[in-house]
Structure 1
Amino acid sequence: MTDALPPIELAAPDITPHRRGNTGIDYVTTLAADRPGPHLVVTALMHGNEIAGAIALDQIFRMGLRPSRGRLSLVFANTAAYRAFERENPYASRFIDEDMNRVWADSLLDGPRDSLEIQRARQLRPLYDTADVVLDLHSMSAHTPPLTLCGRTARGRALALRLGYPAWVVADEGHAAGRRLIDRDAFIDPAGERTAILVECGQHWRQETAVVALESCLRMLLVLDMVEPDAVRPRLMTRGEPQHVVEVTQAVTVANEGFRFLEPFVGMEVIERAGTLIGWDGDIPLRTPYDRCVLIMPARRPRPGQTAVRLGRMTG
């Protein structure tokens, strides 16, 4: 993987006007319609250097967009890490103490650990506990095509396909290092109805990534029948790519120092033959387990205990 700093085409918006909101939680605003409907929570800045989501939420405020039914809550999550963002060292502000998207198990949130990210997750948990649908906006280190992580539920997959874009829909079970927001019990209960998906909108700081982030929000509002189509369709790109579903069969967790990939993979490469060498975990070779294996979100700097890459099989 290359360590060269990619171009930063995006400017981090000033989100301080959104601090007070109207919910009693800093940087959380709920817009409610008169007609009943679902509660959609859209989250940006789970990681402080993933600024495209913040741009999308700021644009929604500037558009004056309001739901025609139900409630729309807009959340700027790890604002402390966002305030630390520096264009000269943009990877450093992913978090302050720990990855905020690995702390969403109730056992952890109710426990003694007290990092800044856990404190913020405790503030936000009551809001997420009222959500019918969560859209969590993220971006990626590599210039990988946008993708939706839909978890393992049929309803998560169906929602991702109804959006129509991104073209890649990835069904997975998360990370060994901790539970993501979309993996909270209410969202993964096979008998439940509440749904959460995560959209990786593209490379962190490319102009197109902010376009995909806003488009994901607008598509979700359309699918949930929460806005009038004419209010958002002019901002939607014409997307002709067919959607593909990939089932993750293995999340490769780094066991040794010095993990390295054989090539500078960026993600969504399809490796045609089973047994193809793709990297080394210390002295242990990492090979593809089946034909047409998809490499999903290879890590920029794989470290022990973290996910190096997820391996997936195309099912549709």
Structure 2
Amino acid sequence: MSQTAPPTHLRIHQFAGLKPGPRLLVTAAVHGNEVAGVGAIQRVLQLLDEGSLTLLQGTLTMIPIVNPLAHRLQRREGDRNLNRNLRPTPIPQDFEDRIANQLCPWLAASDVLLDLHSFNNPGPAFAMLGPRNNNGDLEPFRHQSAESALALAVGTTRIVEGWLSTYALGLKRRADKASDGSRRMALQQDPHYGVGTTEYMRSQGGYGITLECGQHEDPQGPEAAFKAIVRTLVLLGMVAPGSAGVEAADPQRPVELLQLYEVIDREHADDQFERAWASFDPVSEGQRIGTRADGTPVLAPSGGRIVFPNSRAEPGNEWFYLAKPSDRALT
């Protein structure tokens, strides 16, 4: 738990166009140390305030610091991970529960979400999108085409799908383990634990993407976030093409589309990687990725790429993901 007095409010900015149109929500610092989007949102606010950027239609809502406690502490979490088990809570147990009770109605009141993040290891920005259209129990969805267009519009050369279905596999394994009675473990074993901002958004009838703007300290991260906001506004017809000097992403650029298919938890503090991995490093079938504390090798079940390797993961949390080429058509 945090040892500082928690903030008592969220700062939310909203611009209502005089013509009806899409309702876009842009968020940043859901994880407090992921700040590329914070400066990007502040930059857009300034342009709107000074008239250099003109809202043509719709409603633009921006929350530059979604988790102010974690941001104040300069770390990923305040009391817990806000981007897991995100839902309204009648009896809040921690700071993130209280934030969720304010954030979820804003998500539900929006049509589209652009959620700005960053990651630990070096690597280029990439977009994460949701499932294909389906009527299943896990994540029913009907906005595949619009969400795919958004993922393509922000300008990355890599797009990743398959988050919630992959996370569900890890949750099944966690559920088989004996609980230590802690709230943290109870949350980690909850079937809703994989639900974050975009997943909650889809559950309320909207759509959205997560934009991972590169490594936390990447100086290009804020620019990637800024261009993504403006390009999203252009895509939705909310600002004019070429606004703020941002050109559309090259439609002919090569885009690698990957599908997550496995998540591996760190089970013990002495579990170690074989080497210093970066997101999207290639792995071959049978390659040793790491070693468990008892000496058991952790091998890649098939060829593909490693995603979000975290050498500092707490036991019981995600250590790394694995991805393979996707057969999905984005257009």
* Correspondence for 1:312: 323
How far is 1:82 from its partner?
1.8
Cα deviation, residue 72, structure 1: 0.7
CA distance, structure 1, for counterparts of residue 154 and residue 35 of structure 2: 23
Q: Matched residues, percent identical?
A: 24
Question: Which residue in 1 is equivalent to 2:210?
Answer: 198
Counterparts of 1:38 and 1:80 in 2: how far apart (Å)? Answer: 30
1:144, CA displacement in angstroms? 1.5
Q: What CA deviation, in whole Å up to 9, does each residue of 1:180-202 have, x standing for no partner?
A: 11111x5158xx5x102101101
Number of corresponding residues: 277
Q: CA RMSD in A?
A: 2.4
2:264 counterpart of 1:275 = no
Q: Which runs of 5+ in 2 are unaligned?
A: 1-6, 134-143, 172-187
- Work out the CA distance in 2 between the residues paired with 1:26 and 1:112: 19
What SS class does the counterpart of residue 242 from structure 2 fall into?
A: helix
Deviation track 1:16-42 (CA, whole Å, cap 9, x = no partner) reads xxx99xxxx731111111111111100
Q: Which one-letter code corresponds to 2:125 in the other structure?
A: P
Give the Cα–Cα distance (whole angstroms) in 2 for the partners of residues 252 and 133 of structure 1: 31
Q: Distance in 2 between matches of 1:260 and 1:80?
A: 31
Matching residue's letter, 2:312 = R
Q: Deviations over 1:203-231 (max 9, x none)?
A: 11221011111111111111111110132
Give the match for residue 78 of structure 1. 67
Range moving further from structure 2, 138-147 or 157-166: 157-166
Q: Would you say the 8 A contact 1:103–1:118 is kept in 2? A: no
Matched, 1:180 2:196: yes
* Structure-1 separation of matches of 2:126 and 2:231: 14
Partner amino acid, structure 2, of 1:168: R
Aligned residue number for residue 32 of structure 1: 16
Q: Give, in angstroms, the shift of residue 277 of structure 1.
A: 1.0
Post-superposition Cα deviations, 1:112-133, rounded to whole Å, max 9, x if no partner, equal 4421111111112111111111
- Would the aligned equivalents of 1:41 and 1:74 in 2 still touch at CA under 8 Å? yes
Deviation sequence 1:157-179 (CA, Å, 0-9, x none): 51344315211111022444422
For 1:142, the equivalent position in structure 2 comes to 121
Q: Specify the alignment match of 1:228 in structure 2.
A: 240
Answer yes or no: is the 8 Å Cα contact 1:162–1:223 preserved in 2. no
**Partner residue, 2:4:** none
User: Does the CA contact (< 8 Å) of 2:10 and 2:68 recur in 1?
Assistant: no
Q: CA deviation at 1:83?
A: 2.5
Aligned to 2:152: 162
Deviations 1:274-303 (A, max 9, x none): 111111233332211223x11111114122
- Partner SS state of residue 106, structure 2: helix
Instruction: Report if the CA contact (8 A) 1:152-1:171 is conserved.
Output: yes
Q: Do the aligned partners of residues 277 and 188 (structure 1) sit closer, same or farther apart at CA in structure 2, a change above 3 Å counting?
A: farther
C-alpha separation in 1, matches of 2:315 and 2:106? 33
For residue 290 of structure 1, give the secondary structure of its aligned residue in structure 2. coil
Query: Match of 1:211?
Result: 223
Post-superposition CA distance 1:123-146 (Å, at most 9, x none): 121111111111110011111211
Question: Which TM-score applies when normalising by structure 2?
Answer: 0.77
Say whether residues 1:249 and 2:228 are aligned partners.
Answer: no
- Structure 1 residues 188 and 215, CA gap change in structure 2 (3 angstroms): same
- Is this contact kept in 2: 1:68–1:227, CA < 8 A? yes
Name the residue aligned to 2:55.
Answer: 67
What letter is aligned with 2:83? N
The answer to whether the 8 A contact 1:252-1:310 is kept is yes
1:114 corresponds to: 93
Aligned partner of residue 182 in structure 1, secondary structure: helix
Measure the CA separation in 2 of the matches of 1:60 and 1:48. 20
**CA–CA separation in structure 1 for the residues paired with 2:264 and 2:255:** 25
Superposed, which structure 2 residues align to 1:40-59 within 5 Å? 40-59=24-43
